[in-house]
Amino acid sequence: MSFLQGASNIMDNELDLSALRGFRTVLREGSFSAAALALRIPKSTLSKRVADLESHLGVRLIERSTRTLRPTQEGEVLAARADRLLGEAEDIRRALGESGGTPRGHLRLAVPQVIGNLLIGPIAAGFRVLHPEVTLEIHFLDRTPDLLEEGFDGCIRFGPLEDSTQVARRLLHGQAMLVASPQLPGLDSLRQPQDLSRFPLVGLATVWSGGLPLQKGDEEITLPYDPPLRLGSHLAVRDALVAGAGIAALPGMIARPEIAEGRLVRVLPNWSTPRKAIYFVYPSAQSVTARLRAFIDHLAQEMGGD
């Protein structure tokens, strides 16, 4: 049986989407280990899926060596068609279970950790009350997922957006404010941004390019930024500030409740970081089901405002 005959057979009768997705991910990631991590499945499971796909087609799709892998000629032919096949299958999957525009079925979504920990619980609970026939699976990811590759219906992203092929709806504009514990010594001497050099700063452990941008109306300034304490999340930064570790720029959604309770105070209140848009992103206009549209509308209503 030729490769094309085998391919025709598997497309017509035996197409295993998980195996095809696994094959495509291996080529994109460059290794079975990286692909298994991206797909969140054991490496052994992924290897078996690709092996089963090769067995069904009757050809070898990937040439493996101890250090590298590359697609065979037949693998290149299948890879060129995999995106279209998986995209069409995803469109069909999204459309299933919906009749007459009534929201029902399953949504798999991704949100940043800070939004997930602070906001998404009550938002998801409220949505389930309104739409009990929709089930939700919400992952907390600080990286940007490949929506089609990883099977997500959509995700929340901080702008700007780089992928012009995706569709986005702006939820709100957010910005960070400078805050500290009211017991931090010397706060009464803090008059202008340059005075921050005399205080310990707290920041995120992620790689930071450039300085700390601040703005007041039309005036903008970028300060040197090398905090001696860097932590893995905004929530950990918040807790460190409450404990008196220094000053940090915290998103308003985190800072405001602490300010209201008196645990933090805003410093240099006329200065803040530039506004940054928060979006809900989904693969395409055609991928919007009634359940996804209902969730986006609910999310926008609950998160509306700065």
What is the 3-class SS of 208-248, one letter each residue? CCCCEEEEECCEEEEECCCCCEEECCHHHHHHHHHCCCCEE
Which pTM was predicted? Answer: 0.61
pLDDT at 94: 58
40: alpha, beta or left, given left = phi > 0 and alpha = psi -120 to 50?
left
The CATH number of the structural domain formed by 176-274 is 3.40.190.290
CATH 1.10.10.10 fits 3-95, yes or no: yes
Higher pLDDT among residues 237 and 289, named by residue: 237
pLDDT at 3: 41
Higher pLDDT among residues 11 and 84, named by residue: 84
Average pLDDT value for residue range 93-109: 71
Domain ranges within the chain, ordered by starting residue: 3-95, 109-160+281-303, 176-274
Average pLDDT value for residue range 268-293: 86
Average pLDDT value for residue range 249-255: 91
| Contact predicate 42/35, CB 8 Å | no
Q: Strand, coil or helix: what is 294?
A: helix
pLDDT at 9: 42
CATH class assigned to 109-160+281-303: alpha beta
pLDDT for 239 beyond 90 = yes
pLDDT for 179 beyond 70 = yes
Fold match between domain 3-95 and domain 109-160+281-303: no
pLDDT for 57 beyond 80 = yes
